[in-house]
Structure 1
Amino acid sequence: MAMLKGSAIAFLVSCVSCYLISVPSLASSDEFLQCLREKIPSELVYGQSSSNFTDVLVSSIKNPKFFTNATVKPVCIVTPSDASHVQAAVLCGRKLNVRLRVRSGGHDYEGLSYRSACPYEVFGVVDLAKLRAVSVNQSESTAWVGSGATIGELYYAIAKNNSQVAFPAGECPTIGVGGHFSGGGVGMIMRKHGLSIDKVVDAKLVNANGELLDRAGMGEDLFWAIRGGGGGSFGVVLSWKVQLVQVPPTVTVFSIGKTLEQGAIDILTKWQDVGPSLPSDLNLKVKVQGQEALFMALYLGTCSSLVSTMGEQLPELNMTSADCRSMTWLESAALSFTDMSSTGTVEDALLSRAPSMSIFTKGKSDYVRRAISKDAWKSIFSWFAMNGSGLIMLEPHGGFMDTVPAAATPYPHRCGVLYVIQYIVFWQGDGGAPATTWLAKFYDFMGHHVSKKPRQAYVNFRDLDIGQNPAVVDGNVSTFESGKAWGERYFMSNYQRLASVKAAVDPTDYFRNEQSVPPLLHGSK
């Protein structure tokens, strides 16, 4: 309960601070729109009075709780089709003191890519959906991908001509590349090939001065920061050059559910040590919901070899060849990330960009470095007996992840991490209060069993409950000290380096949201 009170106080302080922030006037907003329309084709700029403003805003919203009458909406949406349009938007915004938020796929767990938590903030949105080209260089085994592409579109483009080429990224095809890469990119082949950011070799970015830069132009510090430092802090990344990886012509998957009566707790307790130490070709994740644990595997190999490995490493699962399904890697990428079931054709699963306006969600995250005890798992399952709509996904690290130093990229959760937990609750209509209250209490309970000092979190599972930047009046610059509450949980010791990069490339904090990295200015705390 103390945690809930603390969150309420933090939210109140944030809301009160919104009354203090100096925001642009309505006249400035009109001038901003005029400036945009002078520099960008008018059909790419949607003001709130535009007849299709709402359609464009909704086009990639994935959580309808951020589309209500109370939602603070942008004064306009820019849908650039060229880098020059993004440059113009930044220059107009800087000139007229209107900040920009950047949306690629709309999956931000707190909706910060297209809405503000402050009721008086005036801002515009740069929606990158038109910058979605994927260009594959087969001889180099690389690809340039626009930030507005989804990872499903990326997967499809790189594998359609060669089923043995892949890329390590997430498991939900509608996630936008821009936001996903900006935070790290956890996925099913990360134990073999790492996170998405581990395979990014170049990028094109518009900085706070409106300059278009590649890796050579931005320098290694900024290139380091954008690969895992979270979206919305350092500029607008327009596209990414990625190194592709090789996969076998056929991969193997299975999905095996175990109830409490079938020994779910014993298997899950053992899985915590087995999952991160399995051969790197094998990822065995777990979904816990209700009174069942669902074990889901992707193996870059054959069924017979997988059966042998599972028989040696986790015989309690009783996995047999009858559980195997063989397919191409691309087909495995089209499976549902919550149960590995088929969701129609590969094209339907990977290329759909439909918004999701019926299911409301709230998410949180944790990292586990020491296995949770069997008795604790018994208590955890009792929590799920109270709420059938809540679930947790457990994604093992180890393998390649253990070989990368914590400071190599802003994503620090590497060697020693057993697995990351994603907490999710779902509801429809106005049933959010019971679901989110249950989640908050369950998360509080889990604090005894996960990483501590700091309690770590994944920036791509953004959670404003753990802290947010207050609005300020002194130059409208967030402070390094105020960002520690959430920054050190996402980035640990990398937070300070990120803040130093921010100070070098955006000292006036133009690219700012509720959890953007603040600049570490001289003498600031």
Structure 2
Amino acid sequence: MDCLSYKSALWVPCFALIRKQNSSHVHSIFSSLNWRRNGDQIQSSIHIHHPIPSQLIVLKSPPLLLSSSSSSIQVARFLNALSQKIKSSSPPLSTTFYTPLQNASFTSLLESTAQNLRGLVLFNSKTKPQAIFTPLCESHVQAAVVCATNTPLHLRFRSGGHDYEGLSYISQTKDTFVIVDLSKLRGVNVNIDDNSAWVQAGATVGELYYWVSAKSKVHGFPAGLCSSLGIGGHITGGAYGSIMRKYGLAVDNVLDAQLVDATGRLLDREAMGEDLFWAIRGGGGASFGVILAWKLKLVPVPEKVTVFNFTKTLEQGATRILHRWQQVAPNLDEDLFLRVLINKANKTITTSYSAMFLGEADRLMGVIEKGFPELGLTRKDCIEMSWIESVVYIARLPIGTQPEALLTGKSLSRRYYKAKSDFVREPIPESGLEGIWKRFMEEDTPFMIWNPYGGFMNRIPEAHTPFPYRKGTMFMIQYLTYWQDPSEASSSKHIDWIRKLYNYMAQYVSKNPRGAYVNYRDLDLGQNNKEGTTNFTQASGWGTKYFKDNFIRLVKIKTKVDPHNFFRHEQSIPVLQ
């Protein structure tokens, strides 16, 4: 099983790869690999990728240092089997394994992309991984799945570490588990001729945006606003961004995918079939297989876009203006994405209207003056820039930051937090907003984000992808509370506050079911048994909130493609018994 030679983090791989699977074997074709550094063409080479060999090949590598506990024995057997499946590569395969006793860097790697510090303080011998595996190519992932299927060992897969409950790097089940960290699989290959890009799962949204803009100033992609999101997991939940009202979600613009299934096969869209292809585009991560790459449809953007960030306080009429925003935002020109960030500052409430418009400032002013004059926006509040510059601006990177900063792939800040979500179908009255303000004043660092719908989102049927919140949704709410004190008392205090706010909001949001966004995972909605088993009735509690009627179809597909529930976690799609 030949694997690509490892390149340092300074090298960004761009790949073109298609694999097909038939009933008897994996077909392999040549895959050309172009390596880039800072946008310059360096070298080109050809590799052949083979299916997992049946023969056993023993690696000559140092033994792993593990304790004698039963969980460590499981991990040792897994790693030994894995070394027998994979031929020696450069660097040695042993350098891709990290265990607490073998590697001083185990903890730093574990925490490297963990976005929610709340998950890290939960670590103990039961919740943290016994090892981390960082595959260097697709065949390594295939081998890991094959070697784990016949053991009690559980695998968790991490691309960007943004799971809101930390489920890509911690576990609240009784399973002994290993993290398969996909951060070294981060190639981006942009093909402007056919308006597409192949992106590996370990790449970030920011890296995708950067490499698209490096090829074309008039192409973009409708994914997330946070530049450090791992593209692999991000798209599995739907993935919205600043051009969703024009082009929909990321899942609405996926052309193909590469996935390793529960038997270790590497499948593309044709091989996996349309049911599974439907399920992975919005059905949540780590239930159906390991996403290794997405083929994305690029969308046109103008050479100049316009942004602004315009703030109103309670004393400046924030309540009245926000009430009006609810009525108009879903109906404004679909070139305009105008969300609201709600904070507490200086003993008052601030509502910041953060916008990105696909066009120049003069046309934007016409849209605002006609549809939302109550905002009081002026021409001097608007800033024209390129689309890639707007990505940097919306990501709240420091003013003057160059787009190359998107290649770092790291979040600028990590905090303890708890989040929840809702979808709203009718305007919240001013009295309801005042109830929110009252509760905001009781919390240290409360935060809400209101994201407008309408436009393209109204034209997509609920069953088009597993993500169902389309026509009739006015806006989505994200609730957040942050804190710095790692103590259990502090955590309990802030989580109790957000739960009370969430309960208060029940009267104003979607009902039967009360909707939730799977990418803002919330274990308060329920979870699978700690033994790692799933139950349809139990899982319906959160499944219908995330997916509405699409949950039933997801369960049927899961039962067909992964009947033994190899891919599982606290809120994975259940298997019908």
Same fold (TM over 0.5): yes
Cα distance in 2, alignment partners of residues 428 and 70 from structure 1: 17
**1:24 CA drift (Å):** 7.2
Question: 109, 112, 133: which one pairs with 1:59?
Answer: 112
| Superposition deviation, residue 351 in structure 1 | 2.1
Q: CA deviation at 1:207?
A: 0.1
What letter is aligned with 1:305? R
- Whichever residue aligns with residue 318 of structure 1, its letter is G
8 Å CA contact retained: 1:60, 1:106: yes
Question: Which of 353, 372, 388 does residue 409 from structure 2 map onto?
Answer: 353
Q: Please say which structure displays the higher CA radius of gyration.
A: 2
Matched with 2:447 is 391
Deviation digits for residues 21-62 of structure 1 (CA, Å, limit 9, x no counterpart): xx9754323211211233342211222322221122122111
Q: RCO (CA 8 Å, sep 6+): is it higher in 1 or 2? A: 1
2:95 pairs with 1:36: no
Structure 2: distance between partners of 1:345 and 1:250? 18
For residues 307 and 289 of structure 1, the distance between their equivalents in structure 2, rounded to whole angstroms, comes to 26
Match of 2:16? none
The correspondence for 1:83, drawn from 121, 130, 138, is 138
**Would the alpha carbon gap of residues 113 and 343 (structure 1) be closer, same or farther in structure 2, given more than 3 Å must change?**
farther
Partner of 1:135: 189
The answer for unaligned runs of 5 or more in structure 2 is 1-68, 87-92
Distance in 1, Cα, partners of 2:292 & 2:226: 21
Closer/same/farther in 2, CA of residues 55 and 207 from structure 1, 3 Å limit: same
Per the alignment, residue 321 of structure 1 pairs with: 379
Task: Quote how far apart the aligned CAs of 1:90 are.
Answer: 0.3
CA contact (8 A) 1:143 1:244 kept: yes
| Equivalent of 2:162 in 107, 114, 119 | 107
1:269 & 1:370 partners in 2: Cα distance?
11
Local SS of the residue matching 2:355: strand
- Aligned-partner SS, 2:292: strand
**Farther-moved stretch of structure 1 (41-50 vs 102-111):** 41-50
In the other structure, the counterpart of 2:102 is 50
Q: Distance in 2 between matches of 1:352 and 1:458?
A: 27
Q: Is residue 71–residue 130 contact of structure 2 (8 Å, CA) maintained in 1? A: no
Q: Equivalent residue for 1:487?
A: 543
Rounded Cα–Cα distance in structure 2 between residues aligned with 1:347 and 1:434: 39
Letter in 2 for 1:366: D
**Mapping for residues 409-428 of structure 1, pairs under 5 Å:** 409-428=465-484
Task: Give the match for residue 12 of structure 1.
Answer: none
Measured after TM superposition, the shift of residue 154 of structure 1 is 0.3
Q: Take 1:357 and 1:311, find their aligned partners in 2: how far apart are those partners?
A: 37
Query: Once the 2 structures are TM-superposed, how far is the Cα of residue 386 of structure 1 from its aligned partner?
Result: 1.6
Distance 1:297 1:133 in 2: 30
Partner in structure 1 of residue 41 of structure 2: none
Does the residue aligned with 1:294 lie in a helix, a strand or coil?
strand
CA displacement 1:381-433 (0-9 Å, x = unmatched) = 11112224111000011100000000000000000000110111111023323
Q: Is the 8 A contact 2:453 2:476 kept in 1?
A: yes
Question: How many Å separate the matches in 1 of 2:380 and 2:363?
Answer: 13
Q: Is the Cα–Cα contact under 8 Å of residues 269 and 374 in structure 1 kept in the other structure?
A: yes
What's 2:279 paired with?
225
CA distance in 2, matches of 1:92, 1:151: 31
Counterpart AA for 2:504: F
Map residues 75-474 of structure 1 onto 2, 5 A cutoff. 75-118=130-173, 120-290=174-344, 291-337=349-395, 342-347=398-403, 349-354=405-410, 359-430=415-486, 431-472=490-531
SS of the equivalent of 1:287 reads strand
Decide whether aligned partners of structure 1 residues 106 and 344 sit closer, same or farther in structure 2, where only a CA change above 3 A counts. farther
Q: 1:483 to 1:265 in 2, by over 3 A?
A: same
Q: CA deviation at 1:362?
A: 1.1
User: Once superposed, what is the RMSD of the aligned Cα atoms?
Assistant: 1.6
CA deviations on 1:260-313 (whole Å, 9 max, x unpaired) are 111111111111121111111001100111211111111001111111111111
Q: Specify the code of the residue in structure 2 equivalent to 1:36.
A: L
Shift of residue 81, structure 1, vs aligned partner = 1.3
Residues 383 and 348 (structure 1), Cα distance of their counterparts in 2 relative to 1, 3 Å cut: farther
Is contact 1:253–1:324 with CA below 8 Å preserved after alignment?
yes
Higher mean alpha-carbon deviation, 168-177 vs 477-486, is at: 477-486
Q: Give the aligned partner of residue 20 of structure 1.
A: none
The separation in 2 between residues aligned to 1:444 and 1:336, in whole angstroms, is 30
Q: Output the CA distance in 2 between the equivalents of 1:356 and 1:151.
A: 15
Query: SS where residue 441 of structure 2 aligns?
Result: helix
Quick check: 2:206–2:409 contact (8 Å CA) kept in 1? no
Contact 1:132 1:146 in 2 (8 A): yes
Corresponding residue SS for 2:468: coil
The SS at the match of 2:82 is helix
2:568 maps to: 512
Give the C-alpha shift of residue 346 in structure 1.
Answer: 2.9
Q: CA deviation at 1:434?
A: 2.4
Distance 2:70 2:530 in 1: 14
Paired with 2:410 and 2:463, the residues of 1 have a C-alpha distance of 37
* Partner Cα separation in structure 1 for residue 112 and residue 547 of structure 2: 31
Query: Given the two structures, how large is their TM-score scaled by the length of structure 2?
Result: 0.83
Letter in 2 for 1:504: K
Specify the code of the residue in structure 2 equivalent to 1:451: S
Distance, in Å, in 1 between the alignment partners of 2:493 and 2:400 is 33
Instruction: Give the distance between the partners of 2:218 and 2:560, measured in 1 at CA.
Output: 41
One-letter amino acid matched to 1:385? M
Moved more, 373-382 or 454-463: 373-382
1:497 and 1:343, CA in 2 relative to 1: closer, same or farther beyond 3 A?
A: farther
* C-alpha contact (below 8 Å) 1:368/1:450 kept by paired residues: yes
Q: Distance in 2 between matches of 1:283 and 1:69?
A: 37
